[in-house]
């Protein structure tokens, strides 16, 4: 069965979100692992890795354009590194999440408890989402490096895919900030991710402007730009809200600024 990359991304994100909402996947365990962690650590990564490498080989088999923006070798290495980072984040998240289910460690204020909380809520999630963002950007740039396969993708269907993908990712980030017992992360945990999204969106738009491709002939390009635009707008909204609430404002004192003493 031929499953294109955008459809694969939608299936993975939707399946991951739906599985997270099913209580029995959290409660049924094999050894120390819940069924949800087995799904996240074994089933989904195996499926994604096989499909991603198949798609990469398919793209690399197409004729190369005359003046690619970035070398294929660099982008292919970025795909491999992104897969490694994403899976590393999943593995760290699985272990730290299992430890956080222990009540004594979950709200432990000691260095050990705070370290586990950091790796669980901040480090692992940033590694997962950052790796996925690099993966999508690398595939989009790889597509631009090669002549299209000759298929034409409908504009609105591509936009809808991007909206669904972007909205799903926003929901995943929102879940990170919510917990019944107040054991949750913050939107501020993803500052690096939002900066990566802004930079990636600018790079994609620059590539489209420079190469002037028929974007409807590229399967991932429009969904990637739409989903990244949604996340970039969310990042701007969060920054504006933070500024309105008094954050990110440096209060300079004139005498100190000019070297005087108070």
For 91-137, what is each residue's pLDDT tens digit? 998 888 888 887 788 888 889 889 999 999 999 999 999 998 999 89
Please compute the mean of the pLDDT values over residues 158-179 and round it to a whole number. 88
The Cα 160–Cα 155 span in angstroms is 9
Q: In the predicted model, is pLDDT for residue 155 greater than 90?
A: no
- Structural domain contains residue 262: no
Q: In the predicted model, is pLDDT for residue 262 greater than 70?
A: no
Across the chain, mean pLDDT equals 84
| Inter-CA distances, 87 with 80, 90, 138, Å | 11, 5, 17
Tokens of 205: 């738009």
The Cα 7–Cα 220 span in angstroms is 9
Please compute the mean of the pLDDT values over residues 1-9 and round it to a whole number. 61
Q: In the predicted model, is pLDDT for residue 30 greater than 60?
A: yes
- Structural domain contains residue 113: yes
pLDDT of 238: 87
Comparing 2 with 22, the larger pLDDT belongs to 22
Q: Are 165 and 227 in contact (CB under 8 A)?
A: yes
pLDDT of 4: 64
Binned at pLDDT 50, 70 and 90, residue 74 comes out as very high
H helices of 33-152, where?
A: 35-38, 44-60, 72-100, 103-106, 111-117, 124-145
The Cα 4–Cα 55 span in angstroms is 8
- Structural domain contains residue 118: yes
Nearest to 165 by CA among 213, 224, 219, 125: 224
pLDDT of 17: 78
Q: Are 96 and 132 in contact (CB under 8 A)?
A: no
Share of the chain above pLDDT 90, in %: 27
In our burial notation (b when 16+ CB lie closer than 10 A, e otherwise), range 37-56 reads bbbbbeebbeebeebbeebb
Q: In the predicted model, is pLDDT for residue 3 greater than 60?
A: no
- Structural domain contains residue 222: yes
Q: In the predicted model, is pLDDT for residue 251 greater than 70?
A: no
Q: In the predicted model, is pLDDT for residue 35 greater than 90?
A: no
The Cα 86–Cα 80 span in angstroms is 10
Dmax (CA) for the chain in angstroms is 74
pLDDT of 202: 92
Quote the pTM value.
Answer: 0.83
How many folded domains does the chain comprise?
A: 1
- Structural domain contains residue 53: yes
For residue 136, what are the domain limits?
Answer: 5-257
The SS3 call for residue 179 is coil
Torsion of CA 195, 196, 200, 206, to 10 degrees: 40
Number of H helices, E strands in the chain: 12, 2
Q: In the predicted model, is pLDDT for residue 255 greater than 50?
A: no
Tokens of 261: 């003493």
- Structural domain contains residue 234: yes
Please compute the mean of the pLDDT values over residues 3-12 and round it to a whole number. 70
Q: Are 221 and 153 in contact (CB under 8 A)?
A: no
| R_g of the chain, CA atoms, integer Å | 21
Comparing 178 with 7, the larger pLDDT belongs to 178
Comparing 99 with 252, the larger pLDDT belongs to 99
């Amino acid at each position: 069965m031929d499953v294109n990359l955008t459809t694969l991304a939608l299936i993975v994100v939707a399946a991951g979100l739906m599985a997270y909402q099913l209580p029995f996947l959290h409660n049924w365990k094999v050894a120390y692992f819940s069924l949800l962690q087995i799904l996240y650590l074994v089933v989904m990564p195996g499926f994604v890795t096989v499909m991603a490498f198949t798609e990469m080989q398919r793209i690399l088999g197409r004729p190369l354009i005359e003046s690619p923006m970035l070398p294929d070798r660099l982008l292919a290495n970025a795909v491999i590194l992104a897969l490694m980072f994403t899976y590393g984040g999943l593995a760290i998240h699985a272990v730290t999440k299992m430890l956080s289910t222990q009540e004594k460690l979950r709200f432990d204020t000691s260095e050990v408890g705070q370290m586990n909380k950091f790796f669980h809520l901040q480090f692992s999630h940033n590694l997962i989402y950052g790796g996925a963002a690099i993966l999508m950007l690398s595939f989009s740039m790889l597509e631009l490096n090669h002549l299209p396969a000759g298929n034409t993708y409908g504009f609105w269907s591509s936009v809808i895919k991007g909206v669904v993908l972007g909205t799903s990712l926003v929901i995943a980030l929102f879940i990170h900030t919510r917990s019944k017992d107040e054991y949750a992360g913050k939107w501020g945990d993803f500052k690096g991710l939002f900066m990566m999204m802004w930079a990636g969106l600018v790079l994609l738009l620059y590539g489209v402007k420079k190469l002037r491709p028929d974007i409807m002939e590229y399967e991932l390009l429009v969904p990637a730009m739409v989903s990244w635009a949604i996340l970039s707008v969310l990042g701007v909204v969060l920054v504006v809200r933070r500024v309105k609430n008094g954050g990110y404002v440096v209060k300079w004192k004139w005498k100190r600024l000019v070297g005087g003493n108070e």
